[in-house]
């Protein structure tokens, strides 16, 4: 494989663009934040806590790959220019943008050239330069490649704020449909276990994440979410990112239709119910085909399937009952309980002041025993659940 020589700016354009399939923030199309710097592929507005947005310098160390994943733009059999940054070159380039205040942190990944360890060594060298030579103390999200050896993972754990490894699929059967080269247990899961081991010794400041490709291997949402639940339980992941499959020209999956973004979004919503709202995987409402409804958000779909749990009396309900009401999130539930110490709720306007989305909640609640259904609606609006990032 020939590595082409280009200047740093040309490399940055290509290797920034090449990193776009690695997800490290929530899908901003569903947030109220506008994407800044969208004209630069390497500046990535990652949406994080409470919808806040940080600009990450998001780049690959190299796009030269000996892997041949069926969905990937960097796969070995795809014909395009292969380039790489030297650690020194990339560290200096990042600092240039950081010092100008154009980015707040680094996201570093790479394709696999020669071996995972060889690629990882270059990435590690880059962040060592940043931390030790240039005294950079800011945020680093660092990608562990499949099959990386333990000593390199340990080195990365000492320097990065967040480590991630892409598991790609909810099991080996589905991974085989996505990649002929990645090994689910021995490379991916094993890598995650090693990261989790170090994280147990001393937690990473921004935790561990992983990424799953959605809609390219025939997996159902139920399989994905059951798998996600186990990952959260076993490895204390901070977050799982779902990446809707997009076909890329000159790949074996180029004819496959793209995964609807709404499917990706519904997965985030259901994931949120598992992590933040005490839903068990069995309670997540799936359609007959094992997927989430695209029409109704999962919390509303659950409420519609469980009419015996409603109406909930706002003046008496426990916190856990309140947060299961469509239109009431954790913040509004806390405010409801605080407000109840001062007065009873007697009308919908009082409820609105807590931040609850009244038009969503009103079909599922009573206020001092009175029911206030939305007028003239035979079925609920297929609206989105509360602003998803309310309390992340």
Q: Which residues of 352-381 are buried (b: 16+ CB within 10 A; e: fewer)?
A: eebbbbbebbbbbbbbeeeebeeeeeeebe
| Among 66, 88, 85, 80, residue whose Cα is nearest residue 10 | 85
Question: How many residues belong to the site for ligand SF4 (CB under 6 A)?
Answer: 10
What is the closest distance, in whole angstroms, from the C-beta atom of residue 167 to ligand SF4 in the complex?
12
151: which 2 tokens? Answer: 């000593």
Among 69, 83, 167, 216, binds ligand SF4 (CB under 6 A): 69
Vertex 184: Cα angle to 85 and 148 (nearest 5): 35
Q: Which of residues 174-213 bind ligand SF4 (CB under 6 A)?
A: 179
Q: Is 72 in the site for ligand SF4 (CB under 6 A)?
A: yes
The answer to whether the CB of 328 falls within 8 A of the CB of 355 is no
Using the rule CB under 6 A, is 147 a contact of ligand SF4? no
Nearer to ligand SF4, 163 or 336 (CB): 163
Nearer to ligand SF4 (CB atom), residue 31 or residue 74 = 74
153 binds ligand SF4 (CB under 6 A): no
Rounded-to-integer distance, Cα 112 and Cα 90, Å: 17
Q: Which residue is nearest to ligand SF4 (CB)?
A: 67
Contact 90, 106 (CB under 8 A): no
Q: Which of 31, 74, 119, 291 is in the footprint of ligand SF4 by CB under 6 A?
A: 74
Q: Which is nearer to ligand SF4, 167 or 270 (CB)?
A: 167
Residue 9, classed as helix, strand or coil, is: helix
* Interface stretch with ligand SF4, choices 72-80, 239-247, 248-256, 292-300 (CB under 6 A): 72-80
Name which of residues 8 to 67 contact ligand SF4 (CB under 6 A): 65, 67
When asked if residue 169 is in the footprint of ligand SF4 (CB under 6 A), the reply is no
Angle value at C-alpha 19, between 141 and 123, nearest 5 degrees: 50
> Secondary structure of the chain: what % helix, strand, coil (to 5)?
40, 15, 45
Question: What is the distance between the alpha carbons of residues 226 and 235, in angstroms, rounded to a whole number?
Answer: 14
Q: State in angstroms the smallest separation of the CB of 302 from ligand SF4.
A: 35
At closest approach, how far in Å is the CB of 63 from ligand SF4?
Answer: 7
Q: Which of 371, 282, 266, 277 is nearest to 323 (CA)?
A: 277
> What x-and-dash track marks residues 95-124 binding ligand SF4 by CB under 6 A?
----------------xx------------
For position 246 contacting ligand SF4 by CB under 6 A, the verdict is no
Across 196-207, b (16+ Cβ under 10 Å) vs e yields bebbeeeebebb
Residue 179 CB, shortest distance to ligand SF4, in Å, is 6
Q: At what angle do helices 261-276 and 298-305 cross, to 10 degrees?
A: 70
- Which CB sits closer to ligand SF4, 159 or 248? 248
- Decide whether 213 or 312 has the Cβ nearer to ligand SF4: 213
- Residue 210 Cβ, how far from ligand SF4 at the closest point, in Å? 13
Binding site for ligand SF4 (CB under 6 A): 65, 67-69, 72, 74-75, 111-112, 179
């Amino acid at each position: 494989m020939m590595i082409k020589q280009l200047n740093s700016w040309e490399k940055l354009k290509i290797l920034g663009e090449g990193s776009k399939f690695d997800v490290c923030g929530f899908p901003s199309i569903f947030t109220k934040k506008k994407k800044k710097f969208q004209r630069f592929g390497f500046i990535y507005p990652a949406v994080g806590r409470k919808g806040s947005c940080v600009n990450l310098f998001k780049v690959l160390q190299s796009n030269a790959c000996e892997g041949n994943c069926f969905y990937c733009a960097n796969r070995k059999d795809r014909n395009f220019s292969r380039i790489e940054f030297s650690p020194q070159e990339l560290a200096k380039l990042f600092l240039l943008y950081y010092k100008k205040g154009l980015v707040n942190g680094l996201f570093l990944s790479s394709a696999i050239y020669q071996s995972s360890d060889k690629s990882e060594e270059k990435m590690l060298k880059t962040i060592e330069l940043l931390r030790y030579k240039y005294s950079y103390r800011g945020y680093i999200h660092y990608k562990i490649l499949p099959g990386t050896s333990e000593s390199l993972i340990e080195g990365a754990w000492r320097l990065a704020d967040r480590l991630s490894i892409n598991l790609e699929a909810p099991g080996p059967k589905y991974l085989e449909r996505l990649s002929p080269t990645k090994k689910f247990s021995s490379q991916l899961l094993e890598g995650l276990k090693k990261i989790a081991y170090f994280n147990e010794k001393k937690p990473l400041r921004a935790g561990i994440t992983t990424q799953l490709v959605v809609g390219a291997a025939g997996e159902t949402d139920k399989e994905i979410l059951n798998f996600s639940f186990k990952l959260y339980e076993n490895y204390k992941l901070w977050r799982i990112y779902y990446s809707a499959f997009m076909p890329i020209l000159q790949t074996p999956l180029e004819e496959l239709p793209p995964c609807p973004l709404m499917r990706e979004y519904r997965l985030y919503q259901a994931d949120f119910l598992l992590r933040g709202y005490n839903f068990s995987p069995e309670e997540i409402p799936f359609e007959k085909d094992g997927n989430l409804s695209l029409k109704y958000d999962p919390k509303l779909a659950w409420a519609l399937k469980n009419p015996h749990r409603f109406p909930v009396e706002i003046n008496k309900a426990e916190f856990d009952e309140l947060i299961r009401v469509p239109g009431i999130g954790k913040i509004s539930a806390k405010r409801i309980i605080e407000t109840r110490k001062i007065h009873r709720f007697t009308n919908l306007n009082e409820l609105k002041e807590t931040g609850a989305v009244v038009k969503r909640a009103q079909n599922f609640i009573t206020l001092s025993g009175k029911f206030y259904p939305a007028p003239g609606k035979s079925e609920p609006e297929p609206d989105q659940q509360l602003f998803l990032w309310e309390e992340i």
